[in-house]
Structure 1
């Protein structure tokens, strides 16, 4: 909760006028406890994993020839019923596993110093912190994911996520409850090591959710981040991991491709990439 009774008090404390964003933050957060603000992250989890996959659901159901040429595995189709069943299972896992864990983890967030106070961080500060979080999460996720592909890890936990050999947006968090918690630790690691403002904390998890959905969407569009951001794996990179299935020892990274390249776990993907490109080109010619 902010230690100010009014905007004027905040401006006197800071020695300057509040920015428009800081005024909005004051109006929204001044009477809310830090714990309530932290719990917003759980709400965002439900909202964004519900809304952001919807365009991909519509694309999958319409199967327009103009859009279908961008589907990575065009022979596989998902019905509305199948996708809704996936969504229900994901939401159920969030309710009984992820939600309680996030709500109970507040003391750690408080201990590391994630703040809700003014001033708000600058755009540059948020950009660099979130970039660091992506790099930390990607490295940690790579190794945790490899552990999930050990014989015990796969048979007891990770095989649930691989029920989708052609992933869909709703399947991004479709996994055993233990896997969501284990891999979720990689997402929390960045803010734990490099504490930030609560607004940056929210923004980081929202962007990470959107990235995970895009990675599992099953389509590679011309505007895909993989065509813009250096070393970004995107849907094609992760789709191969699902395509190979349980025996996959390739493409473990969650966001970027450098870990797989450095540790040699993308050899199969690089070998098959030409095949994917040929399939894609043939598919585009088919629908032209």
Structure 2
């Protein structure tokens, strides 16, 4: 929560004028606790998962034949019923698994120093932190994913993710609740090691979700070999 009642008070305390972005942030966050701001993450996950998946749902249902050459498995179709089932399962898992984790992880977030103050990150700071997060997540996710393909982990956890034989964007986070939590660790590791502003934290998890949806879309930007 921003410790000022008005923008004028904030500018006087900081000894400078606020940027447009900082004024917007002040108006949004001034009356919200840090805990509430932290819990926004689950809302963003659900919202952007729903929004970003819609184009892929439309493409899957109304794909012109000439675009089948870009589909990795053109002979396998996912019905609307399949996709609704997938969506309901993912939202259910988000709410019942990620939601409680968001709540109990709040003290850790505060301890790590992820801040909510008026000093928003510069563009360069934002880009640098996101780059670090990508590198850390990509490396750690690779090794954890490999472990999930081990005999016990695959049979008891990871095989849920492979129920959809032909990938679709909606199925990116379709997984056993334990896998959702396990693979959340690589995404959280970057912000834990290089903490920044909560806006960066939000943006990182949104971008990570969008990237997962795109890579699970079942399409490629190059023509499939016959």
With the shorter chain as reference, the TM-score category is: over 0.9
Q: CA deviation at 1:281?
A: 4.5
The gaps in structure 1 that reach 5 residues or longer are: 223-276, 283-288
Q: CA deviation at 1:17?
A: 1.0
State the Cα deviation string for residues 92-129 of structure 1 (Å, max 9, x = none). 11121111111211000000000000211101100110
Query: Residues 128-207 of structure 1: matches in 2 within 5 Å?
Result: 128-207=128-207
Deviates more, 1:3-12 or 1:66-75: 66-75
Q: Which residue of 2 aligns with 1:260?
A: none
Q: CA deviation at 1:175?
A: 0.4
State the Cα deviation string for residues 184-209 of structure 1 (Å, max 9, x = none). 11100000111010000000001000
CA contact (8 A) 1:44 1:206 kept: yes
CA contact (8 A) 1:49 1:209 kept: yes
Q: Which residue of 2 aligns with 1:88?
A: 88
Q: Which residue of 2 aligns with 1:236?
A: none
Secondary structure of the 1:189 match is helix
Q: Which residue of 2 aligns with 1:110?
A: 110
Tell me the C-alpha RMSD between the 2 structures: 1.2
CA contact (8 A) 1:59 1:67 kept: no
Separation in structure 1 between the aligned mates of residue 50 and residue 221 of structure 2, nearest angstrom: 21
Separation in structure 1 between the aligned mates of residue 12 and residue 66 of structure 2, nearest angstrom: 58
Separation in structure 1 between the aligned mates of residue 16 and residue 65 of structure 2, nearest angstrom: 57
Separation in structure 2 between the aligned mates of residue 35 and residue 69 of structure 1, nearest angstrom: 48
CA contact (8 A) 2:22 2:120 kept: yes
Separation in structure 2 between the aligned mates of residue 67 and residue 43 of structure 1, nearest angstrom: 34
Q: Which residue of 1 aligns with 2:79?
A: 79
The gaps in structure 2 that reach 5 residues or longer are: none
Q: CA deviation at 1:69?
A: 2.5
TM-score, structure 2 normalization = 0.97
CA contact (8 A) 1:169 1:214 kept: yes
Instruction: Count how many residue pairs are aligned between Structure 1 and Structure 2.
Output: 226
Query: Residues 1-288 of structure 1: matches in 2 within 5 Å?
Result: 1-221=1-221, 280-282=224-226
CA contact (8 A) 1:157 1:178 kept: yes
Stretches (4+) displaced over 6 A: none
Q: CA deviation at 1:163?
A: 1.2
Q: CA deviation at 1:155?
A: 0.6
Separation in structure 2 between the aligned mates of residue 9 and residue 192 of structure 1, nearest angstrom: 32
CA contact (8 A) 2:68 2:74 kept: yes
